[in-house]
A and B are shown apart, each in its own frame.
Chain A
């Protein structure tokens, strides 16, 4: 415990005031030293990996490869975003990968075999996700089977279910132009810039109005310089990304031009905004954190803990369904191995690398994107280095272990520093 807090004379509100940049950065440093590193490991890892791959393989830095990163990492990022909700409660969903496979198979069957329109097929896939999530959540929350076991069983069962849906191992191709566009087509460059301007402006507006409202009510508000810094950083990073994505990346531009922001990017951004809003601005999100932090306290506060548990699994499985749709779109087909092999571990890895704790109570939707970027860079860079599957698996396994180790050590350290 720091000594300051024990001083009896300190007024409740006085201490929280004076939110200068120095104060904020000092508080941040204190948090980091105390073990609450947030996005730091992911950002640091991303920089190191990108530098290493760029030095080893100059082709890593090309516009076409940059665009590839997004489409490669999209499905895993979306699945990871759903997993954040389950991890927030200190639970795990080992079946998320094959849930995405089953839902992709539902999409393929309704779309290609039954010939239904794409929106009906997507709806069917997501509804399948909701049903799976309800089932898993009910088994965990109401019956009381540990989530590890429930989802391990589901992991096996869904492999079988996927086989049944695609009739014992054939593959179903996806021909619908709308579904294929999600992971294969790009926005027109002008629309990309429009989206960029809209996002940066909206972000700045939200931050500014919140600070102004708080200041008007006499509460501690963030200093303008902090907000300007954050908006500026976003504008620069996103600006460079949009610029590079709008470069011509076709080998033969006269034959077929290839420019623009991949369509999955706005899809993921929309999901990020949605889930960030749910987690940080609604009572439901608050209750998720509370159940993850101390389920008994949440129960005594009158929160329906079981219902929160089930809804976390529902969100996880339906996000897995969205991930399955993206994977199907990218591959233009669905086979029994869609969502299999390393997808789940990559997704869990993405969430944990991004800063979501395996012990519950800590995590954001943004974590999935940061971690998903790290995973995509590893996968992509290793591919460029022409390493085989063996090395890829070894390295990814090591990275996942590293992330979980950082998480565990940070937790220990935070406990020692009294921050957790």
Chain B
């Protein structure tokens, strides 16, 4: 099986600090790939490189078998790569429909086509079996954390996206809401999308992911199938970059 999204040998420096060293990472359609690593391991930087927020210094991004250039969020969006950021990027003063279509409004000539947008937003939420919001015309400010996360994810799915990258979607949520969001993450993959889940929470990672990629100090320590590893091994990979045969040898790629 070929990965839908593959980054090969990416280097990224901010001034004198090299944040990513020769990182290789793949995400497959229909699977949830968890991206784990300690604080400062480079998870967010890697995601921002894929999303076109940071230009890469070296390496290439391969999408659906062909190398692509991602120069900005627009490029990523056109390829079908959507990123749901940790701080959600929703406007509190707008309602759910307005947020989902923000920046890509449907128009009838000059006028906004509210009816079509409302229909599409409703269909998308229904397609994801989201039943937790009262009205899709309520303001985002009145939503709970889990509901906001749901809206942010639904916004990413609305655009026929093929890859959805979620940055710590459950970090600020309670137990019940975390379960809801994880269920939603699983459903996205079951619909055939390639899902990348950044998380610190091992329970979440083992609950939904098919593969796990562990970053250690800017290097990819290992990318393995979730079924093949244990909790303890992943924790070791995160904290020391190696675990038995897995991981980095002497601080370099295996």
> Are the C-beta atoms of B144 and A6 separated by less than 8 Å?
yes
> Are the C-beta atoms of B119 and A298 separated by less than 8 Å?
no
Question: Given A5-B133, A5-B144, A286-B105, does the pair A419, B94 have CB atoms closer than 8 Å?
Answer: no
Nearest CB in chain B: distance from A176 CB, A? 34
> Are the C-beta atoms of A294 and B89 separated by less than 8 Å?
yes
Select A292's contact among B93, B130, B141, B147, beta carbons within 8 Å: B93
Nearest CB in chain A: distance from B20 CB, A? 21
- CB neighbours of A419 from chain B (8 A): 139, 141-142
Number of interface residues of A (CB under 8 A): 41
- CB neighbours of A214 from chain B (8 A): 115
Question: Given A12-B133, A302-B74, A303-B103, does the pair A1, B89 have CB atoms closer than 8 Å?
Answer: no
- CB neighbours of B103 from chain A (8 A): 287, 290, 298, 301-303
Q: Does B235 contact A (CB under 8 A)?
A: no
- CB neighbours of B90 from chain A (8 A): 294, 297
- CB neighbours of A293 from chain B (8 A): 91-94
How many angstroms between the C-alpha atoms of A213 and B115 in the bound complex? 8
> Are the C-beta atoms of B93 and A289 separated by less than 8 Å?
yes
Q: Which of A247-297 contact B (CB under 8 A)?
A: 281-283, 286-287, 289-290, 292-294, 296-297
> Are the C-beta atoms of B144 and A302 separated by less than 8 Å?
no
- CB neighbours of A287 from chain B (8 A): 103
Q: Does B77 contact A (CB under 8 A)?
A: yes
Nearest CB in chain B: distance from A175 CB, A? 40
> Are the C-beta atoms of B141 and A418 separated by less than 8 Å?
yes
> Are the C-beta atoms of B89 and A6 separated by less than 8 Å?
no
Known contacts A217-B115, A219-B119; 16 further A-B pairs (Cβ under 8 A):
A6-B132, A11-B131, A15-B134, A217-B119, A286-B98, A286-B102, A289-B98, A290-B94, A294-B89, A301-B89, A302-B74, A302-B104, A361-B93, A362-B93, A418-B142, A419-B139
Interface set of A (CB-CB < 8 Å, partner B) = 1, 4-13, 15-16, 213-214, 217, 219-220, 281-283, 286-287, 289-290, 292-294, 296-298, 300-303, 361-362, 414, 418-420
Chosen A-B contacts, 10 in total, with CB atoms closer than 8 Å, are A6-B144, A15-B133, A293-B91, A293-B94, A297-B91, A301-B89, A302-B73, A361-B91, A418-B141, A420-B93
